[in-house]
A and B are shown apart, each in its own frame.
Chain A
Amino acid sequence: MRWAARSSRAIGAVFALACGPLFTLACGVLGSDEDVDLDHLVQIPRGFPPMEVPDHNPTTPEGVALGRQLYYDQRLSNGGARACADCHLQERAFSNPAASGVLAHVNLAWSRYFLWDGSEEGTLEDVMRFEVEEFFQTDVERLREPDLEEMFQAAFGTPEITTERAALALAQFQRTLVSGNSPYDRYMQGDRSALSASEVRGMKLFYSERAECFHCHATALFTDNLFHNIGLDAEVDGTGRGAVTGRRIDDGAYKTPTLRNVAVSGPYMHDDRFATLEEVVDFYSEGIVDSPTIDPLIVDPRGGGAQLSRAEREDLVAFLRALTDEGFLNEPAFGPP
């Protein structure tokens, strides 16, 4: 390691009104007052930040329904026969074991930087505009069919079909993909039987300086939504966040992924280099590679990592598995329409 280390940071939200320190239902932050029955569309789990919704795209049942339809609809892709859901599989937390580097779709409503290097920045509307217009190069002519026209009419008041409207609807659907009901959450809400003894030991380790996971996989979201070089490679020049910002200190830094549902979202890391959680924990334990921009929060980069015992590693993996939210993975409203 040399005298240069800094992962870039981002102040999270553009700002939302608070509704009290702990609340369970969406409030005025989520959409405008006229929105119908928002509480049933999106429930904000305990301990989560308020969800910010742009005024120009309130979350409505019709908008969410259209977004869900488009997410699963191959007509969205230009000429091709693929849908978002071909790569983003619900039972895998909307990641995919086969396609490479697929990022999960879990609680993205609270993200401000998208893709591993954060090259898409802004709101869900912004990233969805990118997905539709650039990645899928959607041809609106293919969408001009009666069933979709009806849904656009219901969502936006007129049957007009544009890529902008498609992006808005996809953003609305994405905002409903909230996961906050894992055994860990039930434990935190007082159900002491929700975690096993091993999982509780793993949790204590997770929240210790010895393992150091909590500083980056932080808060109820299990991510700080920032970028870090965690010591995967010795050569980091011009890679990751650094390729976007041009700042040397961002080289080798990638977006911190949430750990919610991480047990089903493998393989892991931006390049899928680890197949299992055991491999990931072995990496943090003894596979760390020092480099000029490694984050100081990585434990003992010079010694190769946290040097956890076999039992500790098992406990840590057990805890990561306790972040799986079966309700989220099986929620019919998130599946094919």
Chain B
Amino acid sequence: MQDTRVLGCAVVAALGLTCAGCGADVSSAKDHGARGEGGAGGAPPGGVPVTIQLEHRVGGLPLGESMVDTPFTNAAGNAFGVTRLVYFLSDVTLTPRGGAPAVAAGAHYVDHEEPATREIELSLEEGVSELASLTFTFGLPPEANVSGAFVTAPESLMEWPESMGGGYHYMKLEGFWSHGDGEVVPFKAHSGAAGGTDYSVAVELDAAGLVVEGDALHLRLIMNVEQWFEGPNLWDFRERFTPPMYGIMHDAAAQRSLQQNGATVFSLEVP
């Protein structure tokens, strides 16, 4: 029930882009939560189902379900705790060695607090034995990042104001951090196409050596949250999240910096 609902929302969002019109058959699309074209939906029945489980960690530890009371001290010495993490991944593609890639086309909305959104399903061709890479766009590619593309919540709530360039947030990562004098202040690491410039991140993860065994494949895709602020660009919250706004939506340099750090934020594991 939960799954159907959330995947369904993703379908609507995707349909919004292609304007498939009224009366789309939801049930036929819900298995892959993607635009039909070229997506995993095209995989032949009898393919190998792949489940990618998204996990969010801070300093190696899982982000608590309620995200309360878990301050973490980053490399710059700022203690922070996360209270909200929502973001888009687009066109998640699993490429095997010698075989057709499995694609979850379109945007996938993830909310840390909604477990059903933390799962992506793909289908690999039968006969594939070894993987090569997992690739995706963190955020939305420019052609999909168009105001009005998402009309239903929760995706629509990711809107990025026209006056700041339009489109949608790639990510809302929010919480509190200790300013050093015992007081705790907010931080709002919201990323998006600030001023209309594309800051989405092309992520490519090496999957060589991972082998498909049995009739299903489970992968774990991890966002190492602190890495947004650590490598290659080290963020000192005192310089980035400054009063009164404690936000960076207007800050092109901060967006570029997050984009650069984004390449090393994700890692892949086999559970």
Q: Nearest chain A CB to B227's CB is how many angstroms away?
A: 20
Complex interface bits, A1-43 against B, C-beta within 8 A gives 1, otherwise 0: 1111110010111111111111000011100000000000000
Stretch at the interface among B4-12, B32-40, B133-141: B4-12
- Within 8 Å CB of A207, what residues of B? 161-164
With A9-B111, A21-B151, A307-B244 as contacts: A218 and B184 at CB distance below 8 Å: no
Q: Is A210 an interface residue (CB 8 A)?
A: yes
Whole-angstrom distance between the Cβ of A111 and the nearest chain B Cβ: 11
Nearest residue, chain A, Cβ from B154 = A11
B156 at the interface (CB under 8 A from A): yes
* B159 interface residue (CB < 8 Å to A): yes
Contact B9 A11 (CB under 8 A): yes
Binds B, one of A57-65, A273-281, A298-306: A298-306
What CA separation (Å) do A13 and B13 show in the bound complex? 13
B153→A17 contact, CB < 8 A = no
User: 1/0 contact trace for A204-215 toward B, CB 8 Å?
Assistant: 100111101010
Q: Which B residues, 110 to 165, have Cβ-Cβ distances below 8 Å to chain A?
A: 111, 113-114, 148-149, 151-154, 156-157, 159, 161-164
Quick one: which of B4, B184, B249 contacts A3, CB cutoff 8 A? Answer: B184
Cα–Cα distance between A307 and B243 once the two chains are bound (Å): 11
Please state if A17 and B23 are interface contacts (CB–CB under 8 Å). yes
CB closest residue in chain A, given B243: A300
Q: Taking the complex as formed, is B81 at the interface, i.e. its CB lies under 8 A from any CB of chain A?
A: yes
Chain B contacts for A209, CB-based, 8 A: 188, 245, 247, 249-250
Q: Which residues of A contact B19 (CB under 8 A)?
A: 20-21
Given A17-B26, A18-B20, A247-B66: A219 touches B159 (CB 8 Å cut-off)? yes
A11, B114: Cβ atoms closer than 8 Å? yes
Please measure, in the bound complex, the distance between the C-alpha atom of A301 and the C-alpha atom of B176, giving whole angstroms: 11
- A6, A22, A225: which contacts B67 (Cβ < 8 A)? A6
Residues of A close to B246: CB separation below 8 A: 296, 299-300
Asked if A29 and B22 sit within 8 Å, CB to CB, the answer is yes
Contact of B153 (CB < 8 Å), options: A3, A22, A219, A307 = A219
A2, A224, A301: the one within 8 Å of B157 (CB): A224
Contact, CB under 8 Å: B84 / A296? yes
Q: Which residues B185-210 have CB closer than 8 A to chain A?
A: 185-188
**Is the CB–CB distance between A21 and B17 below 8 Å?**
yes
Partner among B8, B22, B157, B163 whose Cβ is within 8 Å of the Cβ of A219: B157
A205 to B97, CA, bound (A): 52
Shortest distance in angstroms between A291's beta carbon and chain B's nearest beta carbon?
Answer: 12
* Residues in A whose Cβ lies below 8 Å from that of B259: none
Add 10 more A-B contacts to A49-B156, A219-B159 (CB < 8 A). Answer: A1-B176, A3-B69, A11-B6, A13-B152, A15-B4, A15-B8, A18-B16, A19-B22, A218-B157, A248-B68
**Which residues of A are interface residues toward B (Cβ below 8 A)?**
1-6, 9, 11-22, 27-29, 47-50, 203-204, 207-210, 212, 214, 218-219, 224-225, 247-249, 296-303, 306-307
